[in-house]
Amino acid sequence: MSDRSGTTAKSPHAFMREALGVQSRLLEQRQALVSAALQAERDAVESGSGFGCAEVDAYFEARAAQRSARRPRPRTWRK
């Protein structure tokens, strides 16, 4: 079914099902991201090393500008 603007008209039920499906996928993605971040934090604490923010930012800025850049090296932060 189409209205005059050419868009497809949906029943309220179909609209709600689609919206719930989108929100469910977003929730799953958010949970996976948080889980990966927590694991990365545990790994960093366990290893005692990580990357400096300024070095990582400079690397990605150079790469985004299609310039060559040295990859940042992990550094020990634990004394």
Residues 54 and 37 placed together within one structural domain of the fold: no
Residues 3 and 40 placed together within one structural domain of the fold: yes
For the chain, how many structural domains are there in total?
A: 2
Residues 35 and 66 placed together within one structural domain of the fold: no
Distance CA(15)–CA(22), nearest Å, equals: 11
Residues 77 and 66 placed together within one structural domain of the fold: yes
> What is the domain range of residue 65?
48-79
Judge contact between 58 and 35, C-beta under 8 A: no
Q: Which helix or strand (DSSP H or E) is residue 49 part of?
A: strand 49-50
pLDDT at 68 over 60: yes
Residues 6 and 32 placed together within one structural domain of the fold: yes
Higher pLDDT, 30 or 10: 30
Q: At 40, which amino acid appears?
A: A
Distance CA(50)–CA(56), nearest Å, equals: 11
Q: Residues 20-62: pLDDT tens digits?
A: 999 999 999 999 999 999 999 999 999 999 999 999 999 999 9
Task: Please give the model's pTM, rounded to 2 decimal places.
Answer: 0.62
pLDDT of residue 6: 56
